[in-house]
Amino acid sequence: MTAASILRLVAASVRRPVVVLLLSLASVAGAVLYAVGNFGMTTDTSELISLDVDWRRNEAAVEAAFPHLADSMLVIVDGATPERAESAAARLSERLSAATEHFRRVRRSDGGPFFDRQGLLFGSVEEVKASAASLIEAQPVLGPLARDPSLRGVTTAISTMLMGVEYGVTPLAQLDAPIGALRRSLDQSMRDEPAYFSWQELFAGGAAPPRRRLILVQPRLDYGSLEPGDAASEAVSSHAAALGLDPAHGVTVRVTGEVPLADEEFATLQENIGFVGLVMAAAMLAVLWFATRSTRIVAAIVVTILAGLVITTAVGLLAVGTLNLISVAFIPLFVGLGVDFGIQISVRFNAERLEGAGVGEAVERAAAALGAPLALAAGAVFLGFGAFLPTAYIGIAELGVIAGLGMVIALFLSVTLLPALLVLLKPGAPRREVGFARAAVVDRWLARNRAAVLWAFALSLAGSVALLPLVRFDFNPLHLRNPDGPAMQALTDLMQDPLRTPNTVNLLAADADKAAAVAERLSALPEVAAVVTIDSFVPSDQPAKLAQIREAALKLDSTINPPERAAPPSDAETVGALQATAVRLSTVASRAAQPATEAQALAQTFNKLAQAAPAERARAAAMLIEPLETTLAQMRASLQAEPVTRSSLPPEIARDWVAEDGRALVQAFPRGDSNDNRVLARFTEASLAIAPDASGLPVATQGAANTVARAFVQAGALALAFVSVLLFVVLRDVREVAFTLAPVVLSGFLTLATCVLIGQPINFANIIAFPLLFGVGVAFHIYFVMAWRGGATDLLQSSLARAVLFSALATGSAFGSLWLSQHPGTASMGKILMISLAWTLVCALIFEPALLGPPRDHSKRAVQK
């Protein structure tokens, strides 16, 4: 669009404002119909970067061979006792497996029949020997419990333990720990408090079994929703609630993993979006009013922006088909940049009105003065955004396409619909100066101290360049998430165990033998904590371990598998057993050489329980017998361990590590804090040195960082080249081209230096500030350079300075309000946008006038109004 065509469009709009308004309304209506019928948005973050990048191809190959690695959800089940955790995980996984409408696959990653039976084999020979010995040592207690799993059986087990004391085999003090644990649990139960008892912890001695279980889930996702996995997460919660798996029953169920984290991020984005939008709108309207001091002009600008936004949405959908999480940012980009055209025209319109021109004449005069710089600014911004098109960063490339087209639409409506609305609304003439007469002193100061100002900015540039190596790039996606979100908190808790971190490196080997060889090389790296392959599920030293287990099984078989079980006792029999054992406890305690406080306390507890209501005894029995049944079942299974080979592994484990075509998966875990970017960088570099085709979250994080950085460097170079050529074609002067672009480059360096000084890293979200900085900066400086080359003097006193100032404030209000977002990435984007706009404004209002100096042709009419 040329300056001459802009003049013709403005003149036609002034003459036929009603026709222009009706045509605009028709266009908006058509755009609404198209957008509603064709709107599509994907929240699949994997689509933001091209699949042609090496690390994406490697990632896709691994996920194609092992689909369980993609779109995962991890259900964390924590129990007050190991038995609670195991029982809860078993029941919940069974329920989730049946819910095929929400889940494609459900698997116990650390439990199930295989681990119940073969679990002991995964310890060392010494550990297996110790476990077998502790089971044999517990045989006198296990027998009564297995024959009579009831409260009566528990009292019988206590009596059996006391026999050892009476015969002098066992010191009474040695029973303090189990007796004390039982007494505390029973006391809590009788007080109607949450009470839990663990037989596994009792029999384990010092090595307490884990109280956490994991369920790996692949949900069915709806990418048409901002939270694709929300239905699956809700299903986990509802099934857990239906099973009574909650803190009140000693179980906590949480979800984390790739899908819940992404859903939580989108939910955080929406959390206070209404408040952010309200602040944005209020700030924008306030800035527009102060810029124009006319509600009618503000209304005209707002209507123009809204119409342009609707049309741009339709055109964007037509251009890219489906919006993504990056390209949807065209909305604030359009508002922030598009409002500049409206402010420039409206402020100049007011200046012409102040000189006595009528509404129509003032609009045409404004167009005559601003047509060329507006067209050039729009063209430069269009090319700046379009420079992202050939990059591998698809998200920002599509954003560039939509935002670039939006600038053309914004300019077109600003020279058609806006003039028509101004003519129809007939705003009154301003009653005060449009420019900044008080800025005369600053203009004179800049003229007198031009060299000092330029030196000051030169030194600032040198200092900023010196700080560039200290710019911190943090492309760890976990650092962009709300640390207080449930899924993020669950992940942070999970990552306390270095072998539970999601920051693993995955690679494909030709077969299981090749996988073992690669694993051996990776294991030798100091940056690697552990490596898992299919052979990790084949225990070592099996003959020695199996011998220990079989010996224990022979001794314990009749104990834990009694030929017949006692009939359930009546309540009267339970009361009798409690009273009899209480008497025996008191007797043994009274004969002890040392005070036996725990035995006396348990005797009192048994007596109280015997005198309590039957419901209290039933509650106490349930507390003790439910975990007992779980413990006995696991004991029976663990004593049936058999030799394990690759071929004997269960299919659900084998297919996670060996694909149908024979290729095998190798997974490496980092040593150290896996949430530390430096640790991950060293781990990734070391792993890639051995396996260049590796993938996984650390590789993707580093790869995405490099891809994004490369995209911005490539696009920046292209944008600079394209805009330079455009400026030279129009200005025909290398010096003026440099005058336009130098302040833009300077503001970019100053923004990066400020980020270093305040400790703000560059991340995936806030890096979007830099194309905006380029677009706004180029536009602002074009206005000043073209005014200067037209002979303008005293630039800071002019209506142009007012327009630039309030345009920057309007753009700042559109983006600065993002700083209020609950989402850390969005908030950091708002912060950097405000910093960059502040430096852009400083460069435009201080550095640019000093750089330009006196105009070349003083005979031409000044811009000052």
253-305 pLDDT, tens digit per residue, is: 999 988 888 777 776 656 666 777 787 788 888 888 888 889 999 999 999 99
DSSP symbols for 87-131: HHHHHHHHHHHH-TTTEEEEEESS-SHHHHHHGGGGS-HHHHHHH
In a domain, 864, yes or no: no
Beta sheet of 251-256, edge-to-edge order: 103-108, 212-219, 73-79, 251-256
More confident residue, 34 or 390: 34
Mean pLDDT of 151-160: 93
In a domain, 206, yes or no: no
Q: What is the pLDDT of residue 243?
A: 95
Q: What is the pLDDT of residue 863?
A: 41
- Grade residue 859 by pLDDT with cuts at 50, 70 and 90: very low
Q: What is the pLDDT of residue 865?
A: 42
Euclidean distance between the first and the last CA atom of the chain, given in angstroms as a whole number: 27
The pLDDT tens digits of the residues spanning 641-687 come to 999 999 999 998 999 999 999 999 999 999 988 778 788 889 999 99
Q: What percent of the chain has pLDDT over 90?
A: 43
Query: Are residue 695 and residue 706 in the same domain, yes or no?
Result: no
- Sequence-ordered list of residues with C-beta below 8 angstroms from that of 689, at least 6 positions apart, any chain: none
DSSP symbols for 614-626: HHHHHHHHHHHHH
Residue 617 scores a pLDDT above 90: yes
In a domain, 733, yes or no: yes
Query: Are residue 754 and residue 823 in the same domain, yes or no?
Result: yes
Mean pLDDT of 762-767: 78
Mean pLDDT of 472-480: 76
Q: What is the pLDDT of residue 226?
A: 67
Mean pLDDT of 546-573: 92
In a domain, 99, yes or no: no
Residue 135 scores a pLDDT above 90: no
The answer to whether the beta carbons of residues 135 and 635 sit under 8 Å apart is yes
Residue 862 scores a pLDDT above 50: no
Query: Are residue 429 and residue 315 in the same domain, yes or no?
Result: yes
The pLDDT tens digits of the residues spanning 270-284 come to 666 677 778 778 888
Q: What is the pLDDT of residue 480?
A: 73
Q: Which of 656, 671, 701 represents a domain boundary (last residue)? A: 701
DSSP symbols for 380-423: HHHHHHHTTTTSS-HHHHHHHHHHHHHHHHHHHHHTTHHHHHHH
**Summary mean pLDDT of the chain:** 87
Query: Are residue 673 and residue 767 in the same domain, yes or no?
Result: no
Q: What is the pLDDT of residue 459?
A: 94
Mean pLDDT of 705-723: 83
- Grade residue 774 by pLDDT with cuts at 50, 70 and 90: confident
Query: Are residue 425 and residue 297 in the same domain, yes or no?
Result: yes
Query: Are residue 684 and residue 730 in the same domain, yes or no?
Result: no
Q: Which of 685, 701, 717 represents a domain boundary (last residue)? A: 701
Query: Are residue 320 and residue 433 in the same domain, yes or no?
Result: yes
- Grade residue 858 by pLDDT with cuts at 50, 70 and 90: very low
Q: What is the pLDDT of residue 268?
A: 64
The pLDDT tens digits of the residues spanning 200-247 come to 888 875 567 889 999 999 998 887 676 788 899 999 999 999 999 999
In a domain, 60, yes or no: yes
Q: What is the pLDDT of residue 287?
A: 86
Query: Are residue 746 and residue 811 in the same domain, yes or no?
Result: yes
Q: What is the pLDDT of residue 327?
A: 77
CATH number of the domain that 786 lies in? 1.20.1640.10
Residue 184 scores a pLDDT above 60: yes
The domain of 527 spans 54-64+483-538+647-701
Query: Are residue 737 and residue 669 in the same domain, yes or no?
Result: no
Q: What is the pLDDT of residue 43?
A: 61
Structure tokens at 54: 């090496």
Q: What percent of the chain has pLDDT over 70?
A: 95
Rounded-to-integer distance, Cα 127 and Cα 207, Å: 10
Run of H or E including 780: helix 769-789
The pLDDT tens digits of the residues spanning 48-96 come to 788 888 888 888 899 899 988 888 899 999 999 999 999 999 999 999 9
Q: What is the pLDDT of residue 856?
A: 63
Residue whose pair of structure tokens reads 């550990």 in the numeric block: 127
Query: Are residue 708 and residue 780 in the same domain, yes or no?
Result: yes
Query: Are residue 452 and residue 522 in the same domain, yes or no?
Result: no
pTM over 0.85: no
Residue whose pair of structure tokens reads 């004179």 in the numeric block: 444
Query: Are residue 357 and residue 456 in the same domain, yes or no?
Result: yes
How many folded domains does the chain comprise?
2
